[in-house]
Chain A
Amino acid sequence: GAVVSQHPSWVICKSGTSVKIECRSLDFQATTMFWYRQFPKQSLMLMATSNEGSKATYEQGVEKDKFLINHASLTLSTLTVTSAHPEDSSFYICSARARDRGPADTQYFGPGTRLTVL
Chain B
Amino acid sequence: GENVEQHPSTLSVQEGDSAVIKCTYSDSASNYFPWYKQELGKRPQLIIDIRSNVGEKKDQRIAVTLNKTAKHFSLHITETQPEDSAVYFCAASSLGGYNKLIFGAGTRLAVHP
Which residues on A are within 8 Å of B, measured CB to CB? 32, 34, 42-46, 49, 51, 57, 91, 93, 95, 97, 104-107, 109-112, 114
Contacts and interface: CB of A to CB of B under 8 A. Distances in A.
A107 B104 contact: no
Interface string B83-104: 0000001000101011111111
A67 B4 CA distance: 25
B99 A104 contact: yes
Contacts of B103: 43-46
Q: Taking chain B's interface residues, is the majority helix, strand, or loop, or is none over half, making it mixed? A: mixed
16 contacts: A32-B99, A34-B101, A43-B89, A43-B106, A44-B89, A46-B100, A49-B97, A49-B98, A49-B100, A91-B41, A105-B95, A105-B99, A106-B49, A107-B101, A109-B44, A111-B42
Nearest to A114: B41
Nearest to B104: A43
A-B pairs with the 4 shortest C-beta distances? A105-B32, A109-B43, A105-B99, A43-B103
Contact of B98 (A45, A51, A114): A51
Given A45-B103, A104-B99, 19 more contacts: A34-B101, A42-B106, A43-B103, A43-B104, A43-B106, A44-B44, A46-B102, A51-B98, A91-B41, A93-B43, A93-B44, A95-B101, A97-B99, A105-B99, A106-B34, A106-B49, A107-B101, A109-B44, A114-B41
By size class, the interface of chain B is 20 to 34
B100 A34 contact: yes
Contacts of B93: 105
Interface of B: 31-32, 34, 41-46, 49, 51, 89, 93, 95, 97-106
Contacts of A107: 34, 99, 101
B51 to A, nearest CB: 8
B43 A106 contact: no
Nearest to B102: A46
Contacts of B44: 44, 93, 109
Contacts of B42: 111-112
